[in-house]
Amino acid sequence: MKTPDANLKRILVVEDEPAICDLCRRVLTDEGLEVDIAVNGKVAQDMIKDKKYDLFLVDIRTPVLNGIELYQWLQDKHSQLVTRVIFTTGSVISGPTTAFIEQTGRPFLPKPFTPGELKAIMRETLKEVEK
């Protein structure tokens, strides 16, 4: 049985679109990250309770518990993790959503995004977290 590498960075992708999940898993695994997928914020909460994550790629619009609600939960329960969040969405961003993202100060990746854009924002956020 393979022992997990203690230096391997782990990212939780909170995304309900299978094609985006597949893209993220392929690109981020190729970047040397361990990738877990949660189809919504509620599933993500359970996973966060069980594992340590270095980054979170969070879709704003997921069913059951959306990205905004997940971020607010992180602020309340795991405030040290909010600097590890990158938001995504494929929806036209409304005034309240734009205001929320600006208020958090977190990076944002609009869909559709390229593998290069995903790698760049992931690397930049990891650099910031490791400071």
Does a structural domain hold residue 22? yes
Stated pTM of the model: 0.93
Does a structural domain hold residue 87? yes
Q: Could you give the number of structural domains in the chain? A: 1
Does a structural domain hold residue 4? no
CATH number at residue 69: 3.40.50.2300
Does a structural domain hold residue 3? no
pLDDT in tens, 15-35: 999 999 999 999 999 999 999
Q: How many CB atoms lie within 10 A of CB 61?
A: 15
What are the helix (H) ranges across the chain? 18-30, 41-50, 67-77, 95-104, 115-130
pLDDT in tens, 105-114: 999 999 999 9
Q: Of 95, 104, 94, nearest to 58 (Cα)?
A: 104
pLDDT in tens, 19-77: 999 999 999 999 999 999 999 999 999 999 999 999 999 999 999 999 999 999 999 99
Q: How many CB atoms lie within 10 A of CB 90?
A: 13
Does a structural domain hold residue 1? no
Q: Which two tokens stand for residue 9?
A: 């960075």
